[in-house]
Each structure stands twice: as structure tokens, then as C-alpha cells.
């Protein structure tokens, strides 16, 4: 589907619209840098903040819900798809390169805001030190409803489900990262979001027992990679593709078989695993391993350094235990690793949404703790 090119006249009103019954949709924006510039490795934090700020400007209550909600997040964003070259401690954006940025919404409560926003898209995405011009916009995932996804899966044209994970993907399991697309983890991830937003709820325990019994991995091609995880910390994730099938007795529970295919169609809208609002877990239908988003060496180096420092600080705090110790260790590690890459304390404080003086204090404490460990 051809992208609608933006002009000065069309920048005010774009012909991107959908039915008032729509509950899910995916968009892709074509963007170009204002000039050759450099991105910091955790730039998806900036994209996340920019998107929430767009919501806040027109609907502060909705923005607060998107930002603070402890339930499933009703949107996803991707990183920039295109040529991102590692240059020293940063990523190089080429002036003549076009990049693609994906946004999906999976909640009926957010769709009305999105429908209004796309009619008056801003000219510029204000990303720190690297503003991006929005040149085109298109629907990437068809507007639909949960009921339509379920009905369309009543008679699936295939007995297989192929999914590609085009950005690093990971799950939380027993308080640790779990970088494998085990069917139970996949469908637990999808069903949580489905039950949260669809209004068509399924019993989680019974369905996942059926998944364990009936969903088979028929082939896969995967690789693991360590990346930064949202605002702080790091995660070991996987990219690649997987093909799933069903056992002979799967059809004994036709409602779960139907849900299996519906959740497969739902996956590109909701993403897979955690941190999907920071670019992780981007998922596509089909075997599309060659389309995976590149992860730069700079991003990997930062993630590995954060992981190393987190372990150092955790060992020093092992007597306190619990999630608080890990949270503090990850925060210190993120601040110190980003300072080592040359980022300013003010920029780090903005991304972490923490007071500047707190970040400055944490940086000093982290340096002191690191020195004490040597």
C-alpha cells in the first residue's frame, strides 16, 4: 500500500480514517532527519516520551492513564526501521535516509484520540539532538475489532501459525528475563492483553493448559541479544521466527482452537512479551526473519555494561534482597553506564523522569560503589 506523501497543504489534514467501531489499528510513519545527526542508544525512551506528550497536549487524562496504568499498556511503538550506523558512542542518522516508525493501538478507549491525531499530524518529531520530519503516514495494520478477529479465525485457512519477532523480545519468568518463545509464554502474553481490552474474556488457566497440551513448535530460527530495557536496566531478548502447529486432539476444544488463531492475528497489534511501549517485542505475521530491526553494536555495548554494573551493585546489596535492591541497582547501573558513554546528567534525568539532583547523587554513589568493588 503506497504511503501518502506529506506536503504543506496535506500536513494539516491527512486522509487516514476508520470506522467508529474500530478497536485496534496499526500505523507507520515515514520520517527523515532534518539533517545528518546522532541518536543516543536509548532513543526509544525519547520516542515513548514524545508520543505520550502528544496525547497529553490534547487529552491529559488519557495521557496519565497511558503513563501510569499498572494494567496492560494499550499501545506499542517500534524503534526506527532503517539504516542506523554505530558511530563511536552514538547512532548515526543519515540525512538522505528514510526511516519507518510503527505505532499500534489496541484499546477502544485510545482509538478516538488516535483518529483525531492522525488528521493533524505534527510536522516534526522532536527527538533529542535529532528532530525528524514526518513525510508520510499509512495504515500498517488494518483497523478491526476483537469480535472480527475472533470471527475471522473460526475457519482458519491454514493449520500453521508463523510469527516473526523483528525486535528483541523477552518475557518475565520468576523475576528473571526469559528469552525463548515457548508457546505458553507467547499465548499468556497475548491473552492477558486480549482479556484486558477486548471485552470477550477467556479463562486463562484452562486455555494455557490447552496450549501446553496441543500447541507444537514445528520449526524456528532464533538468536539472542542483550539490549537496554526501557528507561533502565537491560534484557536478554530474542529475534527471529517460529512456526507453530496443533496436535491432532486440539480440535476437541474448538473454542480454544479458534482463540489460538485469533491471538496469532492479534500478535502484531499487541506485540510480544514486555517493554513493548519502548520498541521491544515487535511482531509480524509470517516468516520474515530478514526484516528484523538491526540492533547496533553501541546499543549492545550499553546493555552489556548496564548488566555488568547491575550485578556489581546487586552483590554489594545482597543483604537487603527483594525487588527494591534490584531496582536501585538497575537505576545506578543505567545512570553510570550512560555517563560513561558521555551523556549529560540532565539528559539522563529527563529520560528517567527523575530530579536532576537525585540522578547526580546516584551517579556519585554508583562511582563510589564501583570503586569499592575493585
Looking up residue 259, the CATH number of its domain turns out to be 3.30.70.1900
**Lowest-pLDDT range of 110-124, 235-249, 285-299:** 285-299
Report which of residues 172 and 223 the model is more confident about.
223
Residue in 120, 126, 123 with CA at minimum distance from that of residue 135: 123
Same domain, 173 and 282: yes
Same domain, 86 and 163: no
Same domain, 338 and 204: no
Q: Which residue has the cell 470477550?
A: 200
- The answer on pLDDT for 9 being more than 70 is no
Computed from CA positions of residues 262, 266, 271, 277, in that sequence, does the dihedral angle turn out positive or negative?
negative
Q: Where are the alpha helices (DSSP H) in 165-203?
A: 183-197
The Cα 42–Cα 228 span in angstroms is 7
Q: What is the pLDDT of residue 117?
A: 95
Same domain, 185 and 262: yes
Note the pTM of the prediction, 2 decimals: 0.85
Q: DSSP class of residue 160? A: -
Same domain, 167 and 275: yes
Same domain, 168 and 284: yes
The Cα 243–Cα 263 span in angstroms is 14
| Residue finishing a domain among 144, 161, 193 | 144
Digit-coded pLDDT (tens) for 148-166: 999 999 876 677 899 999 9
- How much of the chain, in percent, has pLDDT values that exceed 90? 59
First-to-last alpha carbon distance for the chain, in angstroms, is 57
**What band does 171 get if pLDDT is binned at 50, 70 and 90?**
very high
Q: What is the pLDDT of residue 156?
A: 66
Same domain, 180 and 221: yes
Q: What is the pLDDT of residue 294?
A: 58
Q: What is the pLDDT of residue 299?
A: 79
C-alpha atoms less than 13 angstroms from C-alpha of 75 in its C-beta half-sphere: 24
Same domain, 12 and 72: yes
- The answer on pLDDT for 137 being more than 60 is yes
- The answer on pLDDT for 283 being more than 90 is yes
**Burial profile 39-59: b = 16 or more Cβ within 10 angstroms, e = fewer:** bbbbbbbbbbbbbbebbeeeb
In total, how many domains does the chain have?
Answer: 3
C-alpha atoms less than 13 angstroms from C-alpha of 287 in its C-beta half-sphere: 10
Same domain, 208 and 133: no
- The answer on pLDDT for 353 being more than 80 is yes
**What band does 215 get if pLDDT is binned at 50, 70 and 90?**
very high
Same domain, 199 and 233: yes
- The answer on pLDDT for 8 being more than 80 is no
Same domain, 160 and 243: yes
353: alpha, beta or left? (left if phi > 0; alpha if psi -120 to 50): left
CA distances from 243 to 109, 154, 219, 272, 327 (A): 33, 20, 5, 15, 36
| Residue finishing a domain among 86, 113, 144 | 144
Query: 10 Å Cβ neighbour count for 174?
Result: 5
Domain that holds residue 161: 147-291
| Residue finishing a domain among 144, 171, 191 | 144
**Burial profile 271-304: b = 16 or more Cβ within 10 angstroms, e = fewer:** bbbbbbbbbbbbbbeebbbeebbbbbebbbbbbe
The overall longest dimension of the chain from CA atoms, in Å, is 63
CB 168 within 8 A of CB 295: yes
Same domain, 242 and 220: yes
- What are 193's three cell numbers? 492483553
Amino acid at each position: 500500500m503506497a504511503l501518502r506523501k506529506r506536503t504543506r497543504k496535506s500536513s494539516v489534514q491527512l486522509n487516514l480514517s476508520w470506522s467508529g467501531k474500530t478497536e485496534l489499528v496499526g500505523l507507520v510513519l515515514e520520517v527523515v532527519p532534518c539533517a545528518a545527526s546522532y541518536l543516543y542508544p536509548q532513543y526509544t525512551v525519547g520516542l515513548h516520551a514524545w508520543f505520550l506528550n502528544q496525547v497529553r497536549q490534547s487529552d491529559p487524562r488519557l495521557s496519565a492513564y497511558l503513563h501510569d496504568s499498572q494494567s496492560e499498556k494499550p499501545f506499542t511503538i517500534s524503534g526506527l526501521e532503517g539504516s542506523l550506523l554505530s558511530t563511536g558512542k552514538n547512532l548515526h542518522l543519515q540525512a538522505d535516509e528514510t526511516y519507518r516508525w510503527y505505532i499500534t493501538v489496541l484499546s477502544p478507549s485510545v482509538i478516538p484520540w488516535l483518529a483525531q491525531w492522525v488528521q493533524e499530524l505534527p510536522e516534526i518529531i522532536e527527538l533529542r539532538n535529532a528532530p525528524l520530519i514526518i513525510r508520510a503516514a499509512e495504515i500498517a495494520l488494518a483497523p478491526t475489532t476483537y469480535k472480527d478477529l475472533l470471527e475471522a479465525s473460526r475457519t482458519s485457512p491454514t493449520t500453521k501459525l508463523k510469527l516473526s519477532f523483528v525486535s528483541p523480545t523477552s518475557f518475565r519468568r520468576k523475576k528473571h528475563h526469559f528469552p525463548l518463545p515457548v508457546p505458553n509464554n507467547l499465548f499468556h502474553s497475548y491473552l492477558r492483553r486480549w482479556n484486558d481490552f477486548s471485552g470477550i474474556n477467556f479463562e486463562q488457566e484452562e486455555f494455557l493448559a490447552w496450549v501446553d497440551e496441543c500447541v507444537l513448535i514445528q520449526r524456528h530460527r532464533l538468536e539472542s541479544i542483550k539490549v537496554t530495557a526501557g528507561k533502565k536496566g537491560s534484557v536478554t531478548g530474542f529475534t527471529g521466527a517460529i512456526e507453530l502447529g496443533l496436535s491432532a486432539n486440539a480440535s476437541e476444544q474448538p473454542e480454544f482452537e479458534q482463540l489460538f488463531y485469533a491471538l496469532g492475528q492479534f500478535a502484531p497489534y499487541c506485540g510480544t512479551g514486555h517493554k513493548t511501549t519502548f520498541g521491544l517485542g515487535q511482531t509480524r505475521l509470517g516468516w520474515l526473519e530478514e526484516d528484523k530491526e538491526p540492533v547496533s553494536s553501541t546499543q549492545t555495548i550499553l546493555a552489556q555494561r548496564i548488566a555488568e554494573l547491575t550485578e556489581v551493585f546487586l552483590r554489594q546489596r545482597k543483604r537487603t534482597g527483594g525487588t527494591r535492591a534490584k531496582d536501585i541497582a538497575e537505576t545506578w547501573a543505567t545512570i553510570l553506564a550512560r555517563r560513561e558513554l558521555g551523556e549529560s546528567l540532565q539528559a539522563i534525568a529527563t529520560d528517567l523522569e527523575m530530579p536532576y539532583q537525585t540522578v547526580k547523587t546516584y551517579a556519585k554513589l554508583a562511582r563510589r560503589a564501583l570503586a569499592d568493588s575493585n
